Structure 1
């Protein structure tokens, strides 16, 4: 995974780019984001956040009346900037290549996305938990990220299909099968406490997808 796909860095960049955010408020949001990732939302107190941000606890309450309100403020740039930026980078780095081999294509997609999740699972867990609990946030995330990723994948698969490297099924269904399989492992890594043999999971996932997506003989 490249440094540019580090969610913590992208979050800091999003805060720095917002010239309407006062310095103390920016520090509070960064501290909250880091602590929610490190300790979990429920185990993080406003006192913890204030200490990490280098401000008085009253300064946190002055701007954010509740911890839920603070979480919403943390997740706003995640939905509007951070996750969309990560999705765009994935498209530029992995989906703009001219693939001539199905195995190489699947290996590149699986490696990139699984490595991304492994490197950022603490931050992605914050997003995943909110998606499961808040349908409005889920809708905003899908609206921001979905077209950025789905359209290029469909185009890639259409190109592979034209080369005779994919089964002759509707391309949107093929994209759905690929995305749901990768997201299944991503969800397991993010939300479940059991350790995952990532290398073995990658091999099995690529093998599974290749057998299912290859042209019928």
Structure 2
């Protein structure tokens, strides 16, 4: 079973309210949008991948944009968000002794998750900047829940005297921007380069801790 098939199987594990045909359409839409982007994907391609007639899609969705919003956006709310948050909670709910250890765990957790779910990651990166509705879905169902937990974690390490006194939201933005900047370069922009992953991860952590740590 491919990583794509494993991702789809896990994504739909508790989605009993969807019919098998709906699951096939959603899976085909995710795969097609990830491969070619929303603009370059036709509904006929999605139908072919799903093994359904194109008319089956248009029976409920008048346009391709309707398909994106009516299938992918609710999928983010009902399926992707719990899927992402459940995995991320493995790190967020663990009490690390040092902030540096927490940062390393985030990087390793997100890399493992994204390597196994690259199609979802590509859709988020490619479409959210151009689709305000998807951006709102992402903020409502994923970002807000994670950010609040991250604020508590940052304040915890500030109280322990490990990181500088700075608004938690600023520390979160700097930290996540640095981590995902590395991940995007590594797996989307230049995956063909020769990467020394262990060294790059350590350098990323060192860069962050040089700016945030009080223990210098």
Q: TM above 0.5, one fold?
A: yes
Aligned equivalents of 1:165 and 1:143: distance in 2? 31
Identify which of 77, 100, 106 aligns with 1:80: 77
Relative to the length of structure 2, the TM-score reads: 0.80
Structure-to-structure mapping, 1:40-55, within 5 angstroms? 40-55=37-52
The Cα of 1:28 is off from its aligned counterpart by: 2.0
Taking CA–CA contacts closer than 8 Å with sequence separation of 6 or more, which of the two structures ends up with the larger relative contact order?
1
Q: 5+ unaligned residues in a row in structure 1: which ranges?
A: none
Q: Using a 3 Å threshold, how does the CA distance of structure 1 residues 189 and 12 change in structure 2: closer, same or farther?
A: farther
Residue 204 of structure 2 is matched in structure 1 by 205
Contact kept in structure 2, 1:29 and 1:73, CA below 8 Å: no
The Cα of 1:209 is off from its aligned counterpart by: 1.0
The Cα of 1:59 is off from its aligned counterpart by: 2.1
The Cα of 1:155 is off from its aligned counterpart by: 1.3
The Cα of 1:130 is off from its aligned counterpart by: 2.0
The Cα of 1:169 is off from its aligned counterpart by: 2.6
Q: Using a 3 Å threshold, how does the CA distance of structure 1 residues 31 and 136 change in structure 2: closer, same or farther?
A: closer
Q: Provide the aligned length of Structure 1 versus Structure 2.
A: 210
The Cα of 1:170 is off from its aligned counterpart by: 3.0
The Cα of 1:157 is off from its aligned counterpart by: 1.8
Aligned equivalents of 2:82 and 2:122: distance in 1? 18
Aligned equivalents of 1:81 and 1:124: distance in 2? 17
Contact kept in structure 1, 2:69 and 2:133, CA below 8 Å: no
The Cα of 1:90 is off from its aligned counterpart by: 3.9
Relative to the length of structure 1, the TM-score reads: 0.80
Residue 161 of structure 1 is matched in structure 2 by 158
Q: Using a 3 Å threshold, how does the CA distance of structure 1 residues 9 and 190 change in structure 2: closer, same or farther?
A: farther
Q: 5+ unaligned residues in a row in structure 2: which ranges?
A: none
Aligned equivalents of 1:191 and 1:206: distance in 2? 20
3-state DSSP of counterpart to 1:133: coil
Structure-to-structure mapping, 1:172-211, within 5 angstroms? 172-189=169-186, 192=189, 195=192, 197=195, 199=197, 200-211=199-210
The Cα of 1:99 is off from its aligned counterpart by: 1.4
Moved more, 183-192 or 162-171: 183-192
Runs of 4+ residues deviating >6 angstroms: none
Moved more, 88-97 or 44-53: 44-53
Q: Using a 3 Å threshold, how does the CA distance of structure 1 residues 181 and 125 change in structure 2: closer, same or farther?
A: same
Q: CA RMSD in A?
A: 2.8
